Structure 1
Amino acid sequence: MVFAVGLSSCQKFEDLEKDPNRPGDVPPSLVFTRVLYKLYYSPWSDQMRWGQFHCSNYAYYDDQEYDWTTTDFNYNQLKNVNQMISEATRVGLADNNPYSAIGKFFKAYFFVDMSLRLGDVPMTDALKSLENTAPKYDTQKAVFKQALTWLEESNTELQTLINSNDQSLTGDFMLGNDLKKWQKVVNSYKLRVLIALSKKESDTDLNIKAQFANVVNNPTKYPVMTSLDDNLKFTYNSSDTKYPLNQDNYGQTATRNNMAATYLNTLVSLKDPRTFIVADPAPAKIKAGLTASDYEAYVGASSGESLDDMSTKMLNGEYSPISKSHYYSSYLGEPCIQIGYSEVCFSIAEAINRGWVAGNAEDYYTKGIKASWTFHGVTDVETKWTAYYAQPSVKLSSTSASALTQILTQKYLAFFQNSGWEAYNNYRRTGVPTFLTGPGTANSGRIAKRWQYPSSERTTNATNYNAALTSQFGAATDDINSEMWIIK
């Protein structure tokens, strides 16, 4: 007995502290899967309502108000990225491995996502745990500059891994562990980041135009998406990841939501065949003698309309519901794109229009539209294309300003129920399309331009929080209508 007690007394406290029922180490693939889930933005979400694709007409569930308050930081996701990289090293992978290379893409993605919602955010001093519990804020410019560096390094490292035929990536439910597709994602996302900086094209420190042209003009070094097969997308199944709209929740969501005018009425005005796929005709229009084949039978509600008016009009059949056959007939729905080929096409078309890179803007513009048509299920694309593109409102104008509006409008239409915040981000950057406002959008008829920082910053990091507000907006006021650096 004395001998046993003596042995137990020699055990280290750290060993006794460990929970035997919880793993201390995990494969990097499991962390990778978790990070990938956190990258995902769902369709039919708040972001889609604020992108004015659909509306809620039932106050209990949602509204269209832009009276935003606080949002979350992405540091939990970023901590997982760092953990994923550490676990890859722990299991014996080389310093350059798929998890570390894609980890740099994740860092760029989560920091940019966070900065686009808020403005300046802690970056250099962040994620240091107890070493620094009150991190200083980095400027939004610094965040974007670092993100572009990470993306450059990610591309280079992925190419090295591809050349060596590295097969060590597992846990990838979006791209099937295909490093070549991941390299295309990295560079396609880089184009997104660069085009988001269009208002800073004269900044010689960032050199946006040259960086964009370098990607487009060097497809061997910087491959980008070339088809819908390259999309970074979330695919649904009939068990644990059902499409958000399905036959189980038709009674809850279908009648309490309807299509928004900013999106649907634009489709109708262009006589776009996506109209008949995404929406059902307004019952009152059918009762008045129109058919489901008439564009005029499809009507979206203004996001600025009061909920009382919208609800009444929806009950009266004046607005188009979400397509029952397309969105409520199965659990599978359509994959939700996070970064996609259509977006790449429109970004390149925009860059050509802006004079950043040589090329045929019309070619990329038409490819982008056709890709979106195909994704949303338009049949006989080439047959329908001739009449569609013959419309002056669709055929790319020879006037630069008009052509830019057309490119941005079609880019917006392609973002329907995918790509998270990108429809809103592009509207905020360009003003296209015109977002509708009124009593229903609140915020004194304004579209909010940012979110407030997490409330914990006011108490745990007040000095740096107030300094960041003053530096950005001229006063220590966390105002959702203030303009952050990227849109000034």
Structure 2
Amino acid sequence: MFNIKRITVGVLAILLTVTSSCKEDYLDINNNPNQATSATPDLVLPSALASTASYVQTRFPFLNLWMGYWNWSGNYSIGTSDKNYQFTNGFGAPIWDNGYLILKNYNYIDTQGATLNQPVVQGIAKIMKAYHFQILVDTYGNIPYTEALNGLTTASPKYDDQVAIYEDLFKQVDAALALFDQADAKSAQGETVLDPGANDIVFGGDVDLHERLVLWREFANTLKLRMLLRQSEKPERQAFVQAQLAILNASDYGYLGQGANAAVNPGYTNSANRQNPFYGNFGETVTGTPTELNNQYRGNKYAIDFYQQTNDPRLARFYAPVGGTGTNFNATYFGTIDPQVNSAVSAIGPALVDSPDQDAVILSSHESLFLQAEAAQRGWIPGNAKTLYQQAITESFLNTGLTAAQAATYYAQPVNNVSYDASANKLEAIITQKWASLNGFTPFEAWADYRRLGYPNVPISQDPSTTVRQIPVRLLYPTSEFNYNATNANAQGTVSQFTTKIFWVK
């Protein structure tokens, strides 16, 4: 669903042209001499934002397996490395490669925005660079950062310390906010400020520039809060956290709230290469038949049991019933030795594959409210944790096509990890309900919370070859790094997906 706001502009014909041709130079093998080498940053912006949406919604399906949302279909023979966490350097390589491709586009917007004195698009680019670099740090730890986007001048960029990168990301977001202030000041003085308008396919459309900059500021503050909460369990990081919280709490702007999904829609429609990326990958083809990935992924018994045991109507939104009854949901655990055929297990549900023109969410209103609930519960920000918790659940219900009344009935149940008052561990309740809301679209955030706090207690793969009974804490550096940046990649030493932790992992 997530159709609280819809922005439709005719940009799909040009989307991804810059992304597909501008590979990160130290990964670049082929250059097209006939490809245009420059474009104004406001015209590159929608392509970059659409690439972000595709990236976050389609690059992490394995995390839906790990985090108890999905399982493999019994109709397919699945390799053991996809079920026992014993993957190699090739696993998830597009997360790295495409992440840097997208960052290069945002860097172009950033630098050209500065050259052409376009503070709005430059500020958006800086925020989105922080958004993507955080994902890469949270996935790999130390990564190329200060030299990563230098082009041919640094074909083999050094790896930067992950803590230093995190700290610099706050500076980059602050620089973006200063650019927005600059744009506001110029507008107030009657100076012309380039407004990307409909090319801002996240908060654009009919919203005027002032309102849009408020939303981007709220997005930036929410991103900061997410990065601070990542570090919540590390005592040595608390001085930095508190200093940044003082800045956040002094801000004139809050966080993304009710009805404020950060979602991309450049004009998705039911035609080839123009569908919503999640729908096009995990829903139906343009002719209405299930995609191959839709057939490969089925429901996971862990999540289905949770929704059933807590009388959660989101069950029928995240999963499809079996047998045509409308009420029978069935699934198996990840890695089961007895997978069932598709007709016997629940498929991906209508909230996830609603329509080919559905919005592509990059940061949902309910995730933001859960972040705020946790921060309030910790005493980090003003606000009532219980109220924010209930608002977050309500937003999740609304974003999956249900009603606020259904949400109120749900969280009024005197059930642990459902009712705030009935929950013995408030933090566990917040994170468990956050996990319940992130199904399908946002498994990365569920994985981050699990690595940080251990909530909820997601079962380990049942595959007999799972000798290390632990969900991985990171991915391995891709093969491309050892091919094209070997000295710097090898300098990171021996890396294990089980023991080489990201700095904020508990």
Same-fold call, TM cutoff 0.5? yes
- Deviations along 1:135-163, one digit per CA (max 9) or x if unpaired, are 33211101100111111221222233234
1:111 aligns to 2:111 (yes or no):
no
**Aligned equivalents of 2:107, 2:464: Cα separation in 1:** 39
Which amino acid in structure 2 is aligned with residue 55 of structure 1? N
| Alpha carbons 2:107, 2:149 under 8 Å: kept | no
**Aligned equivalents of 2:408, 2:401: Cα separation in 1:** 14
Partner of 1:26: 39
- Deviations along 1:219-265, one digit per CA (max 9) or x if unpaired, are 52x33212223433457432312423136232745554321123222
Which amino acid in structure 1 is aligned with residue 284 of structure 2? N
Which amino acid in structure 1 is aligned with residue 150 of structure 2? K
| Match among 49, 52, 55 for residue 68 of structure 2 | 52
**Aligned equivalents of 1:363, 1:49: Cα separation in 2:** 31
Aligned-pair distance for 1:420?
5.5
Q: Aligned in 2, Cα 1:388/1:109: closer, same or farther, shift over 3 Å?
A: closer
1:268 aligns to 2:308 (yes or no):
yes
Give the alignment's TM-score, normalised by structure 1.
Answer: 0.80
Aligned-pair distance for 1:53?
1.6
Count matched residues.
440
Partner of 1:6: none
Q: Aligned in 2, Cα 1:123/1:209: closer, same or farther, shift over 3 Å?
A: same
| Match among 215, 219, 222 for residue 188 of structure 1 | 222
1:68 aligns to 2:84 (yes or no):
no
Partner of 2:14: none
| Match among 48, 58, 80 for residue 105 of structure 2 | 80
**Aligned equivalents of 2:254, 2:109: Cα separation in 1:** 25
| Alpha carbons 2:67, 2:443 under 8 Å: kept | no
Q: Aligned in 2, Cα 1:269/1:420: closer, same or farther, shift over 3 Å?
A: closer
Aligned-pair distance for 1:360?
1.3
Residue pairs, 1:191-210, within 5 angstroms:
191-203=225-237, 206=240, 208-210=241-243
Partner of 1:481: 498
Q: Aligned in 2, Cα 1:162/1:61: closer, same or farther, shift over 3 Å?
A: farther
Q: Aligned in 2, Cα 1:396/1:20: closer, same or farther, shift over 3 Å?
A: closer
| Alpha carbons 1:67, 1:448 under 8 Å: kept | no
Q: Aligned in 2, Cα 1:238/1:174: closer, same or farther, shift over 3 Å?
A: farther
| Alpha carbons 2:333, 2:462 under 8 Å: kept | no
Aligned-pair distance for 1:359?
3.0
Please say which structure displays the higher CA radius of gyration.
Answer: 1
Q: Aligned in 2, Cα 1:162/1:53: closer, same or farther, shift over 3 Å?
A: farther
Partner of 2:331: 300
Aligned-pair distance for 1:363?
0.5
| Alpha carbons 2:450, 2:456 under 8 Å: kept | yes
Partner of 1:366: 390
Aligned to 2:361, what secondary structure does the other structure show?
Answer: strand
Partner of 1:341: 365
1:322 aligns to 2:348 (yes or no):
yes
1:389 aligns to 2:420 (yes or no):
no
- Deviations along 1:351-375, one digit per CA (max 9) or x if unpaired, are 2222323431101000000000001
The runs of 5 or more residues in structure 2 that have no matched partner are 1-30, 188-192, 206-211
Partner of 2:50: 37
| Alpha carbons 2:124, 2:216 under 8 Å: kept | yes
Aligned to 1:337, what secondary structure does the other structure show?
Answer: strand
| Alpha carbons 1:246, 1:329 under 8 Å: kept | no
| Alpha carbons 2:352, 2:440 under 8 Å: kept | no
Partner of 1:11: none
| Match among 409, 413, 428 for residue 405 of structure 1 | 428
- Deviations along 1:457-479, one digit per CA (max 9) or x if unpaired, are 335444433333xxxxxxx2121
| Match among 128, 135, 139 for residue 161 of structure 2 | 139
| Alpha carbons 1:184, 1:230 under 8 Å: kept | no
Which amino acid in structure 2 is aligned with residue 42 of structure 1? Q
Which amino acid in structure 2 is aligned with residue 136 of structure 1? K
1:231 aligns to 2:262 (yes or no):
yes
Residue pairs, 1:107-186, within 5 angstroms:
107-165=129-187, 166-170=193-197, 171-176=199-204, 178-186=212-220
- Deviations along 1:111-170, one digit per CA (max 9) or x if unpaired, are 111111111112223333343333332111011001111112212222332344434225
**Aligned equivalents of 1:405, 1:329: Cα separation in 2:** 30
The runs of 5 or more residues in structure 1 that have no matched partner are 1-17, 469-475
| Alpha carbons 2:311, 2:410 under 8 Å: kept | no
- Deviations along 1:321-365, one digit per CA (max 9) or x if unpaired, are 334x66667433x43321121111111211222232343110100
**Aligned equivalents of 1:441, 1:189: Cα separation in 2:** 39
| Alpha carbons 1:33, 1:173 under 8 Å: kept | yes
Partner of 2:437: 414
**Aligned equivalents of 1:387, 1:438: Cα separation in 2:** 30
1:100 aligns to 2:127 (yes or no):
no
| Alpha carbons 2:124, 2:176 under 8 Å: kept | yes
Aligned to 1:246, what secondary structure does the other structure show?
Answer: coil
Aligned to 1:179, what secondary structure does the other structure show?
Answer: helix
Question: Please, which moves more after superposition, 421-430 or 441-450?
Answer: 441-450
Aligned to 1:342, what secondary structure does the other structure show?
Answer: helix
| Alpha carbons 2:369, 2:388 under 8 Å: kept | yes
